[in-house]
Structures are given as structure tokens and as C-alpha cells.
């Protein structure tokens, strides 16, 4: 069907409608545009798209989602796909053959692994947790976890599924990476510790700076608006220092600057 091809190309309802008018050369033919046998209404296109989404990707209830996952597993037998429900919360782990090769052949898979959730990616507020490591061309995927909640219990179960899906020889044959780099989610960090207890956990520079900026903006700390940019700039110099000598040089300067003296909690 013509419109299904539009949807497969990633077009929304409105985009599919405009593309169809252009493709059928109806831009100047208002009479043909009004003929729904040739040019379906937006309502009809929206209905067709909803039915296509439900058939190809599952709807917005647990049953149709489960059916879509089963269909994906059948259509892709070489993909490891594990699902589990805990307290009515769904966890799904996806590991492709490419990801398995990365675990086996890329040394960086056993060093630093980046885990950071993207939340509310659909109407069910599904969270997506990609496991990534550094590679010659940038970030390389190791596994993907989908969850319907981000509490510690659900994430512990989800990360446990990831560990099961990637196998004992994962992370360059070590079974666990040397360290995880995450955001500041306490539930996420505790769940990682439960599943991989011997692995160190760090905040990335972005999240360190994000947390510091939030601290500066918190009124209870009493930091003046005119001082925030200067203090933030000093902290950026600290986290971007390339050597210990550079770090301690900036730290000494930081301790002596008037803004830091005004707020002694910074230098404790």
C-alpha cells in the first residue's frame, strides 16, 4: 500500500499527506485534492498510520507490545531479546550480533562503559538505556535496555537481564567492565552496583558540571547571581585540567579568588 511505504520511510501523518499530494502531482488540482478516493483525508491517513504502527510496532497496551516483541524476535532470530515483568513493570533487553562482536573483539568494551537513560520516548514513558563504549568511529553499542520504570528494583532486574543476555565472556572476556560512567541517578547507580559489584562508577564531565550548576542555582546556598558564572568557569577549568599539576594550580587559584572566599563551602 502506498501510504505504508510513506510510514516506513518515517513520515508522520501530515508529512505523508503533503508528500502524497506532491507525488500524485495534485498541487495545482484542487478538485483532485478534494477527492478522497485519490487523496485521503488527514483523519483517514491518521487511522491508517495508527493501524500500521499497531501491526508493526505494537500498540499502547501490554498485550500488543508483547506481540510486537515476539514478532521482532521471530523476524530476527539472530538477535538476543529477553523480556521480563516485575510488579507490572516491563523490562526488555536487546543484543544484536554486532553488539556481541563488540564485546568479544573491542578492548574498550572492557574498560569504560557509558550508561545514560533517555526517558519518555513514547506515550508509555518508556526509558531507553543504551550501553556504549568508545570505538574508532565514536560510541559503539553493547546492549540496549528498555524499561517502563526507573526505580531501583526495576533497573536491577533490567541490568540483570543485560548481564544474562551478553553472557559471561562479555566486556572483552572479563564479564564486567572496569568502570561505568553514568548520570547522577541514585537508583541507576545502586542497580549497577548490585549487578556488577566490583565495577567502579563515575559521573561524566557533563553531569558533574550539570550538578554543580544546579547547586549554584539552589537558593538555599545563597550564591549571588553575579558570582555564579565566575564560579562555574573555575569549576570547568578544574574538570578539564589535563594534568594533576594543572588541576592543583587551578585549585590554588580557585581557593584565593574573592568569589570562593565569599562562599567557603566551595573550598572545604
Residues 227-249 have pLDDT tens digits of 888 888 888 998 898 899 999 99
Confidence grade of residue 112 (pLDDT, cut at 50, 70, 90): very high
pLDDT in the model for residue 225: 83
pLDDT in the model for residue 169: 86
pLDDT in the model for residue 101: 94
Residues 185-223 have pLDDT tens digits of 889 999 999 999 989 998 888 888 888 888 888 877 778
With a cut of 70, say whether residue 30 has pLDDT above it: yes
Specify the higher pLDDT residue, 8 or 54: 8
Confidence grade of residue 100 (pLDDT, cut at 50, 70, 90): very high
pLDDT in the model for residue 124: 56
Confidence grade of residue 133 (pLDDT, cut at 50, 70, 90): very high
The C-alpha cell that represents 63 in the structure block: 498485550
pLDDT in the model for residue 98: 94
Write the burial class of residue 61 (CB in 10 Å: 0-12 exposed, 13-18 middle, 19+ buried): exposed
pLDDT > 90 in the chain, percent: 29
With a cut of 60, say whether residue 66 has pLDDT above it: no
With a cut of 80, say whether residue 67 has pLDDT above it: no
With a cut of 90, say whether residue 116 has pLDDT above it: no
With a cut of 90, say whether residue 164 has pLDDT above it: yes
Confidence grade of residue 143 (pLDDT, cut at 50, 70, 90): very high
Output the pTM of the full model: 0.66
pLDDT > 70 in the chain, percent: 90
What is the average per-residue pLDDT within 159-178?
Answer: 92
Specify the higher pLDDT residue, 182 or 61: 182
- Among the ranges given (49-58, 90-99, 158-167), the one the predictor scored with the smallest mean pLDDT: 49-58
pLDDT in the model for residue 34: 76
pLDDT in the model for residue 267: 55
With a cut of 80, say whether residue 61 has pLDDT above it: no
Own/partner long-range contacts of 178-184 (Cβ < 8 Å, ≥24 apart)? 178/110, 178/111, 178/112, 179/111, 179/112, 179/113, 180/112, 180/113, 180/114, 180/115, 181/112, 181/113, 181/114, 181/115, 182/114, 182/115, 182/116, 182/207, 183/116, 183/117, 183/207, 184/210, 184/211
Amino acid at each position: 500500500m502506498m501510504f505504508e511505504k510513506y510510514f516506513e520511510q518515517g513520515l508522520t501523518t501530515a508529512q505523508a499527506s503533503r508528500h502524497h499530494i506532491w507525488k500524485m502531482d495534485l498541487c495545482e488540482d484542487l478538485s483532485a485534492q478534494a477527492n478522497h478516493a485519490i487523496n485521503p483525508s488527514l483523519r483517514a491517513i491518521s487511522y491508517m498510520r495508527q493501524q500500521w504502527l499497531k501491526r508493526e510496532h505494537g500498540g499502547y497496551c501490554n498485550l500488543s507490545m508483547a506481540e510486537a516483541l515476539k514478532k521482532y524476535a521471530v523476524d530476527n532470530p539472530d538477535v538476543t531479546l529477553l523480556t521480563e515483568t516485575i510488579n507490572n513493570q516491563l523490562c526488555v533487553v536487546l543484543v544484536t550480533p554486532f553488539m556481541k562482536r563488540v564485546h568479544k573483539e573491542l578492548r574498550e568494551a572492557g574498560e569504560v562503559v557509558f550508561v545514560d537513560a533517555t526517558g519518555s520516548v513514547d506515550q508509555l514513558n518508556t526509558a531507553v538505556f543504551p550501553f556504549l563504549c568508545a570505538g574508532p568511529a565514536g560510541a559503539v553499542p553493547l546492549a540496549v535496555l528498555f524499561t517502563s520504570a526507573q526505580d531501583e528494583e526495576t533497573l536491577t532486574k533490567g541490568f540483570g537481564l543485560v548481564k544474562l543476555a551478553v553472557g559471561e565472556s562479555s566486556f572483552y572476556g572479563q564479564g564486567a567492565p572496569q568502570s561505568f560512567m553514568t548520570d547522577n541517578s541514585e537508583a541507576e547507580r545502586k542497580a549497577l552496583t548490585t549487578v556488577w559489584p566490583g565495577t567502579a562508577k563515575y559521573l561524566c564531565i557533563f553531569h558533574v558540571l550539570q550538578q554543580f550548576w544546579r547547586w549554584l542555582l539552589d537558593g538555599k546556598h545563597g550564591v549571588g547571581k553575579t558570582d555564579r558564572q565566575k564560579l562555574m568557569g573555575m569549576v570547568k577549568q578544574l574538570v578539564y585540567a589535563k594534568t594533576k599539576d594543572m588541576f592543583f594550580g587551578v585549585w590554588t587559584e580557585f581557593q584565593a579568588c574573592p568569589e570562593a572566599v565569599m562562599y567557603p563551602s566551595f573550598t572545604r
